[in-house]
Amino acid sequence: MTKYVIKGGKPLKGTVTVSGAKNAAVAIVPAALMVEGPCRVENIPQISDVTLLLKILEEMGANISTVNRHTMDIDCSDISTDFVPFELMRKIRASYYLLGAMLARFGHAKASLPGGCDFGVRPIDQHIKGFKALGAEVEVKNGIITAEVPSGRLHGAQIYMDVVSVGATINVMLAAAMAEGKTTIENAAREPHIVDTANFLNSMGADIRGAGTNVIKINGVDRLSGSSYSIIPDQIEAGTYIAAAAATGGEVLIENVIPKHLECITAKFEEMGVECIPYPDSILIRRTSPLLRTNVKTMPYPGFPTDMQPQACVTLCFAEGTSVITEAVWDNRYKYIDELKRMGASVHVDGKIAVVEGVPGLTGAPVKACDLRAGAALVIAGLCASGTTEVEDAHYIARGYEDFEGKLRGIGADIVCVETPDDEEVSRSAV
Ligand code: EPU
């Protein structure tokens, strides 16, 4: 087990560089399975979710070589669906992309129901609806999803998504990229990682148009072949450093960003009185005056991202007055609030609404991360709090942030990562 030990109270100052986007990488790595021959993927973030997906591909027969820290050559020529590592798949939500990719290439696919962070019910009915519309027969039994195309190849279809879903949009896009004929996805999600996955597939020979709008049109192609592609910078990692700079009252230049992707985040931080100055591929965040209260409602892109909700909530704890947060994407993404209250926050949750009363300050305490973004938010709380905060279960944070503590130390944070014996080890040694 790992925990972060943070001594708070210092405004962050300096320059931090953002890594490749997690939610693009976790789609692009499985999509490499569709390509005959090697593809070079650059700007891959060093995070545990990606490491896990690469391991899954390797266990299925992929040949993966590391070119440098962030560049890999992924060759799935010899991959087979005979062995699918269900146990590894269960550990990560994005393993569901292997279904779309396998269906496209082989006409059959197997995967375990996905794991990932727990925000209440996380159905995949829209993924399944899409696969069925493309001609697959899908069965879910004993935690395993099996999809089979009786004719051997998927066919194009018109698919209307009942909910705006990032995962279902990408998964159907993967499956349809090599289907026979045309597919239209209506009510598609529009996140930057959807555009990035479409661009990756197009660079391999796919014909996908409209990604980034709510109607995506795909002309299926017979095969994809290898080329070289660089993943976009991570919008949410950048957003997390925006929140950290804002909450601590610091001045941080965040490099390797696409400022356009950050507008949905900076719009809210500007309302809080934070200066956000965009440059071509960086953004300067500065706060010199007290934080102002505001209301935040999470929505699919280009709305305020749910993956920034906990970080925004922590920042609003320091704003004078009452702020209201509405979580409109996930049913249960406020589990971290109880931990925040242990540090002195005043937040009342009622269903999808969190009412945040600003407090003069937080005090350090031992707290537990319950998921990736909640963990990052508790670290930000610790950076602002007086005294020492220990954030346990920091492995959640490593799922999506490359070298979080190292990057924070680089902008002046007093944070160390400590390995602790897990409960099992403690009880074993106590016997
Ligand atoms: N939904 C359905 N049916 C489906 C799929 C989704 O009802 O078949 C519902 C969900 O229950 C949810 C909403 O639609 O209420 C949106 O879910 P979506 O499918 O968009 O989420 P996801 O694809 O499972 C991705 C990110 C999440 C991020 C959400 C929303 C990945 C691997 N994960 O999840 O990222 O919160 O989109 O933007 O891309 C994170 O990075 O911390 C994270 C959790």
33 lines ligand 1 (CB under 6 A): no
Distances (CA, A) of 130 to 135, 184, 185, 359: 9, 11, 9, 47
| Smallest CA separation from ligand 1 atom 36, residue | 307
Q: How far apart are CA 406 and CA 393, in angstroms?
A: 17
| Smallest CA separation from ligand 1 atom 10, residue | 122
Query: 3-state DSSP: the chain helix, strand, coil percent, rounded to 5?
Result: 35, 30, 35
170 lines ligand 1 (CB under 6 A): no
Of the chain, the percentage scoring pLDDT greater than 70 comes to: 96
Cα(119) to ligand 1 centroid in Å equals 10
Cα(327) to ligand 1 centroid in Å equals 13
CB 183 within 8 A of CB 134: yes
- The rounded Cα 306 to chain-centroid distance in angstroms is 10
Give the side-chain half-sphere CA count within 13 A for 15: 6
Cα(219) to ligand 1 centroid in Å equals 26
Question: Looking at ligand 1, which atom is closest to the CA of residue 127?
Answer: 8
| Long-range contacts of 372-375, Cβ-Cβ distance < 8 Å, separation of 24 or more | 372/117, 372/396, 372/397, 372/399, 372/400, 372/401, 373/117, 373/236, 373/240, 373/307, 373/308, 373/309, 373/310, 373/311, 373/400, 374/310, 374/333, 374/335, 374/336, 374/339, 375/336
CB 388 within 8 A of CB 379: no
Q: How far apart are CA 353 and CA 80, in angstroms?
A: 46
Cα(4) to ligand 1 centroid in Å equals 27
Q: DSSP assignment, residue 399?
A: T
Distances (CA, A) of 400 to 238, 262, 394: 12, 18, 11
Amino acid found at 85: P
| Smallest CA separation from ligand 1 atom 22, residue | 167
| Long-range contacts of 76-85, Cβ-Cβ distance < 8 Å, separation of 24 or more | 76/32, 76/33, 76/34, 76/35, 76/36, 77/36, 77/37, 77/38, 79/33, 81/106, 81/108, 81/109, 81/110, 83/59, 84/60, 84/110, 84/111, 85/55, 85/56, 85/59, 85/60
Of 384, 403, 411, nearest in space to 6 by CA: 384
Q: How far apart are CA 405 and CA 397, in angstroms?
A: 10
| Smallest CA separation from ligand 1 atom 6, residue | 165
Cα(164) to ligand 1 centroid in Å equals 9
Structure tokens that stand for 126 in this block: 């829209």
93 lines ligand 1 (CB under 6 A): yes
Secondary structure element (H or E) that encloses residue 426, with its range: helix 423-430
pTM: 0.96
Residue keyed to tokens 């159905």? 123
Amino acid found at 387: G
373 lines ligand 1 (CB under 6 A): yes
183 lines ligand 1 (CB under 6 A): no
Tell me how long the chain is: 431
235 lines ligand 1 (CB under 6 A): no
Predicted local confidence at residue 431, as pLDDT: 34
25 lines ligand 1 (CB under 6 A): no
Residues labelled catalytic: 117
Residue keyed to tokens 């995070």? 47
21 lines ligand 1 (CB under 6 A): no
pLDDT by position in tens, the chain (length 431): 899 999 999 999 999 999 999 999 999 999 999 998 999 999 999 999 999 999 999 999 999 999 999 999 999 999 988 788 888 988 888 889 999 999 999 999 999 887 655 656 678 999 999 999 999 999 988 888 999 999 999 999 999 999 999 999 999 999 999 999 999 999 999 999 999 999 999 999 999 999 999 999 999 999 999 989 999 999 999 999 999 999 999 999 999 999 999 999 999 999 999 999 999 999 999 999 999 999 999 999 999 999 999 999 999 999 999 999 999 999 989 999 999 999 999 999 999 999 999 999 999 999 999 999 999 999 999 999 999 999 999 999 999 999 999 999 999 999 999 998 765 554 443 33
Cα(147) to ligand 1 centroid in Å equals 21
| Smallest CA separation from ligand 1 atom 37, residue | 166
**CA atoms 292, 294, 299, 301: torsion sign:** negative
| Smallest CA separation from ligand 1 atom 17, residue | 165
Structure tokens that stand for 238 in this block: 């950048």
Question: Looking at ligand 1, which atom is closest to the CA of residue 26?
Answer: 32
Q: How far apart are CA 64 and CA 311, in angstroms?
A: 35
| Smallest CA separation from ligand 1 atom 29, residue | 166
- pLDDT for 66-125, tens place per residue? 999 999 999 999 998 878 888 898 888 888 999 999 999 999 999 988 765 565 667 899
Structure tokens that stand for 256 in this block: 């390797």
- pLDDT for 176-214, tens place per residue? 999 999 999 999 999 999 999 999 999 999 999 999 999
Q: How far apart are CA 40 and CA 227, in angstroms?
A: 6
Phi-psi region of 156 (alpha: psi -120 to 50; beta: other; left: phi over 0): beta
Three-state SS string across 316-332, please?
HCCCECEEEEECCCCCC
Q: How far apart are CA 283 and CA 15, in angstroms?
A: 10
Cα(166) to ligand 1 centroid in Å equals 6
